[in-house]
């Protein structure tokens, strides 16, 4: 081994330790140094996060993420996540911030840091053929019901109402399976189903049941990133106060939800 | 038994090692059914893939050019495409084109469900390899043996069934073992089309309980044991079929 290679190796070792040291420091510094905020968002959840015709991620949550990046004075990069991997991506540091339609649950707060207050809220409902005439949740007993892998209400739907959950990786597969008749219904967030029932392609389908489990959504940062979480809390309050959430709902064609209105009232 | 299960609940509270498929009866049921589905899917695919292999190898030696071409086309198609793509193709492309039938909840559903498509797709996938494996065995049977059988007045089918195949079987068993082990491992792909097998159920559990690490360790061990049992069985079979002085 020549002296040159030894020197080179030493530089690499030193450089990587510095890299590690800065990674363990505040994530806000890392973001500013990198000049880019990496946000995990949904890419299959119209209108909260979906792909436009050019393949770019757009929607309510990407807009919110862009607000955060603007506040930090950095660029924004979107990483599409799904329900079953979003918390893992955050834990592994693949993303700095996760705004991915995640319901705020106590056991999730053990794994990721969810700043208060909640930025949004939605409940659970189903999309099903009008001709089936489903009226209440009990009607699902014994029927195959499509779902998304990783959604928390899968277990409740099968445990409480006896539905046989057929869970797919993404919504595209689940919608396709519902259309093909592999399931009697698709259990999902009411916010996404409302958007679907307005779609002419889904004119034969309806959202027939009373919404259950109305639960707030939480965005999340890595555990231990207190500074970033404090900043996000401020941002969320700001979004509610300025009516930004209501404005984005209108922009993306969602009727203003009671939660967004109430929060706007509360902080105004 | 309840005491044993409760111990794991305490383990979770005390140490954070979360194994809900042991202490939660709902999750226990899920993982047990997942285990049964994996075993059942494996058995169905093992059976049909071997049948496809035997018949395919026989047709490959057919004197009709067209039959040989069809068999070769089938092998190329299934050997040169990824099994996951085949699964998706069968389930989402072919499955939606089939006629629909009235089901017991008053809707219209496709003729075949996800389990059936997984069984068909994986059998064809492993079958393609099995045809080639059996061909190698058949070609290893000395030509003089076949000629001797012809001289004794055996028909073509009789020669294949009673002479070539039994000898070939002993030659191909190690290679067949290999492919069948791969087949059992490939059944995990069925999770993509929501067949409730072991990986799928484990995924449901780790999604609900956020215990990814524990479930990954469990899955690795579960498949290790499952495939270990298969390999043990096949090795025994190999030994019991041994003819002294042959192979």
DSSP assignment of B104-172: TTSSEEESS-HHHHHHHHHHHHHHHHHHHHHHHHHHHS-HHHHHHHHHTT--HHHIIIIIIHHHHHHHH
The pLDDT of residue A188 is above 60: yes
Count of alpha carbons within 13 Å of A123, Cβ hemisphere only?
A: 12
Neighboring chain A residues of B26 at a CB cutoff of 8 Å: 155, 159
Q: What is the mean pLDDT of residues B127-147?
A: 93
Strand A49-51 with A44-45, pairing: antiparallel
Q: What is the reported pLDDT for A11? A: 55
Mean pLDDT of B234-247: 83
CA distance A236 to B19: 36
Between β-strands A75-81 and A36-42, what pairing exists: parallel, antiparallel or unpaired? parallel
Indicate if the pLDDT at residue A41 is higher than 90.
Answer: yes
Strand B108-110 relative to strand B100-102, pairing: antiparallel
CB of A71 closer than 8 Å to CB of A32: no
Q: CA B131 to CA B59: how far, in whole Å?
A: 10
Residue B32 in contact with residue B202, Cβ under 8 Å?
Answer: no
Q: Is A18's pLDDT higher than 50? A: no
pLDDT, tens digit, for every residue of B23-50? 888 888 889 999 999 999 999 999 999 9
In whole angstroms, give the CA distance from residue A113 to residue A106.
11
Q: Over the stretch B9-23, which tens digit does the pLDDT of each residue have? A: 888 888 888 888 888
For residue B247, the model assigns a pLDDT of: 57
Chain A residue whose CA is closest to B106: A132
Report the C-alpha gap between B146 and A84 in whole angstroms.
58
What is the average pLDDT value for chain A, to the nearest integer? Answer: 85
| pLDDT per residue as tens digits for the range A215-225 | 889 999 999 88
pLDDT of residue B195: 92
Q: Are A169 and A89 in contact (CB under 8 A)?
A: no
pTM exceeds 0.80 for this model: no
Across the range B100-110, mean pLDDT stands at 74
Q: Do A129 and B107 touch (CB under 8 A)?
A: yes
Handedness of CA B110, B116, B122, B123 (dihedral sign): negative
For an interface test with B, the pick among A153, A155, A178, A187 (most B C-beta atoms closer than 10 Å) comes out as A155
Percentage with pLDDT > 90 across chain B = 61
Q: Is A166 on the interface with B (CB under 8 A)?
A: yes
Neighbours of A219 (CB within 10 A): 29
What is d(CA A9, CA B78) in angstroms, rounded to the nearest whole number?
Answer: 48
Q: Which CATH superfamily is domain A26-119+218-267 in?
A: Periplasmic binding protein-like II (3.40.190.10)
Q: Per-residue pLDDT tens for B138-196?
A: 999 999 999 999 999 999 889 989 999 899 988 899 999 999 999 999 999 999 888 99
User: Tell me, what DSSP letter sits at residue B99?
Assistant: P
- Quick one: average pLDDT of A188-208? 86
The domains of chain B, with CATH numbers, are 36-99+106-240 (1.10.3720.10)
Identify the three-state secondary structure at position B196. coil
Residue A211: band (very low, low, confident or very high) from pLDDT cuts 50, 70, 90: confident
In this prediction, residue B185 carries a pLDDT of 94
Separation in Å, CA B245 to CA A203, B170, B239, B242:
72, 12, 13, 9
Place of tokens 């209440």: A136
- Nearest neighbour of B110 by CB, restricted to A88, A169, A181: A181
pLDDT at A8: 60
For an interface test with B, give the residue of A85, A131, A180 to mutate (most B CBs within 10 A): A180
Report the 3 state secondary structure along chain A. Answer: CCHHHHHHHHHHHHHHHHHHHHHHCCHHHHHHHHCEEEEEEECEECCCEEECCCCCEECHHHHHHHHHHHHHCCEEEEEEECCCCHHHHHHCCCCCEECCCCECCHHHHCCCECCCCCCEEEEEEEEEEHHHCCCCHHHHCCCEEEEECCCCHHHHHHHHHCCEEEEECCHHHHHHHHHHCCCCEEEEEHHHHHHHHCCHHHCCEECCCCCEEEEEECCEECCCCHHHHHHHHHHHHHHHHHCHHHHHHHHCCCCCCHHHHHHHHHHC
Task: Look at residue A153 in the predicted model and tell me its pLDDT.
Answer: 85
Nearest to B198 by CA among B39, B8, B63, B20: B39
Q: Give me the mean pLDDT over the A159-185 stretch.
A: 88
pLDDT cut 70: percent of chain A above it: 91
Residue B103 has pLDDT above 80, yes or no: no
How far apart are alpha carbons B76 and B41 in whole angstroms?
A: 24
| CA-angle at A210, arms to A209 and A212, nearest 5° | 115
Out of A152, A169, A180, whose CB is closest to B208?
A: A152
Q: How far apart are CA B23 and CA B4, in angstroms?
A: 8
* B91 vs B84: CA distance, rounded Å: 11
- Kindly state the percentage of chain A with pLDDT values over 90: 29
Q: Which residues of B touch A180 (CB under 8 A)?
A: 92, 95-96, 109-110
Do the chains contact at B108 and A173, CB–CB below 8 Å?
A: no
Where in chain A do CATH 3.40.190.10 domains reside?
A: 26-119+218-267, 123-214
Residues A187-206: what's their mean pLDDT?
86
Mean pLDDT of all residues belonging to chain B: 90
What mean pLDDT comes out for the span A12-27?
A: 54
pLDDT band (50, 70, 90) for residue A20: very low
| Unique residue bearing structure tokens 């020197």 | A7
Closest CA to A96 of A197, A179, A23, A7: A23
In this predicted structure, what is the pLDDT of residue A23? 45
Q: Residue A4's pLDDT band (boundaries 50, 70, 90)? A: low
First-to-last alpha carbon distance for chain B, in angstroms, is 50
pLDDT above 50 for A21: no
What are the pLDDT digits (tens) for A58-71?
999 999 999 999 99
The alpha carbon of A109 is separated from its chain's Cα centroid by a whole number of angstroms, namely: 15
pLDDT of residue B24: 85
Q: B204 and A149 in contact by Cβ < 8 A?
A: yes
**ipTM of the predicted structure?**
0.71
Higher pLDDT, A170 or B49: B49
Q: Is A149 on the interface with B (CB under 8 A)?
A: yes
Average pLDDT over residues A243-255: 86
Sequence-distant (6+) residues with CB within 8 A of A167 are A146, A147, A148, A149, A150, A151, A154, A174, B194, B200, B204
Pick one of 3.40.190.10, 3.10.20.600, 3.40.630.30, 3.20.20.140 as the CATH number of A123-214: 3.40.190.10
* pLDDT value at residue A22: 43
- What number is the average pLDDT over the span A106-133? 89
A186 vs B103, more confident: A186
Q: What is the predicted pLDDT for the residue at B246?
A: 72
pLDDT of residue A9: 58
Q: Is residue B223 scored above 90 in pLDDT? A: yes
pLDDT 10s digits, A73-104: 999 999 999 888 899 999 999 999 999 989 88
């Amino acid at each position: 081994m020549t002296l040159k290679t030894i020197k080179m190796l030493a530089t690499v070792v030193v450089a990587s330790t510095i890299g590690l040291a800065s990674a363990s420091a505040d994530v806000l510094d890392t973001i500013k140094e990198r000049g880019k905020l990496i946000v995990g968002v949904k890419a299959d959840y119209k209108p909260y996060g979906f792909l436009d015709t050019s393949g770019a991620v757009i929607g309510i949550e990407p807009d919110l993420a862009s607000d955060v990046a603007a506040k930090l004075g950095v660029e924004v990069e979107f990483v599409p996540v799904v329900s079953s991997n979003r918390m893992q991506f955050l834990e592994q540091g693949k993303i700095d911030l996760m705004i991915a339609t995640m319901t705020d649950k106590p056991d999730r707060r053990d794994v990721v840091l969810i700043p208060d207050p909640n930025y949004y809220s939605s409940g659970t409902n189903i999309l099903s053929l009008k001709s089936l005439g489903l009226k209440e949740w009990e009607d699902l007993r014994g029927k195959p019901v499509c779902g998304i892998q990783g959604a928390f209400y899968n277990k409740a739907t099968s445990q409480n109402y006896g539905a046989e959950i057929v869970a797919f990786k993404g919504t595209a597969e689940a919608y396709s399976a519902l259309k093909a008749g592999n399931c009697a219904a698709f259990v999902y967030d009411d916010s996404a189903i409302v958007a679907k029932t307005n779609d002419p392609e889904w004119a034969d389908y309806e959202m027939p049941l009373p919404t259950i489990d109305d639960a707030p959504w939480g965005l999340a940062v890595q555990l231990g990133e207190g500074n970033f979480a404090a900043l996000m809390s401020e941002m969320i309050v700001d979004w509610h106060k300025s009516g930004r959430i209501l404005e984005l709902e209108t922009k993306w064609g969602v009727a203003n939800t009671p939660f967004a209105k109430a929060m706007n009232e509360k902080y105004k | 038994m309840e005491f044993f299960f409760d111990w794991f609940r305490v383990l979770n509270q005390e140490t954070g090692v979360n194994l809900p498929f042991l202490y939660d009866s709902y999750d226990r049921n899920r993982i047990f059914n997942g285990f049964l589905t994996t075993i059942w899917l494996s058995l169905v695919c093992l059976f049909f893939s071997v049948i496809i292999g035997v018949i395919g190898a026989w047709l490959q030696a057919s004197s009709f050019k067209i039959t040989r071409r069809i068999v070769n086309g089938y092998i190329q198609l299934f050997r040169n495409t990824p099994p996951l793509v085949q699964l998706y193709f069968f389930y989402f492309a072919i499955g939606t084109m089939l006629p629909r039938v009235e089901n017991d909840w008053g809707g219209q559903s496709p003729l075949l469900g996800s389990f059936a498509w997984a069984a068909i797709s994986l059998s064809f996938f492993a079958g393609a390899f099995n045809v080639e494996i059996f061909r190698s065995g058949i070609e290893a049977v000395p030509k003089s043996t076949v000629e001797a059988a012809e001289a004794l007045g055996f028909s073509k089918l009789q020669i294949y069934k009673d002479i070539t195949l039994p000898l070939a079987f002993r030659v191909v068993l190690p290679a067949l073992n290999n492919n069948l082990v791969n087949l059992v491992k490939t059944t995990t792909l069925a999770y993509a089309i929501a067949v409730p097998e072991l990986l799928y159920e484990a995924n449901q559990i780790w999604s609900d309980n956020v215990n990814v690490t524990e479930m990954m360790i469990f899955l690795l061990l579960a498949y290790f044991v499952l495939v270990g049992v298969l390999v043990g069985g096949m090795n025994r079979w190999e030994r019991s079929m041994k003819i002294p002085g042959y192979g």
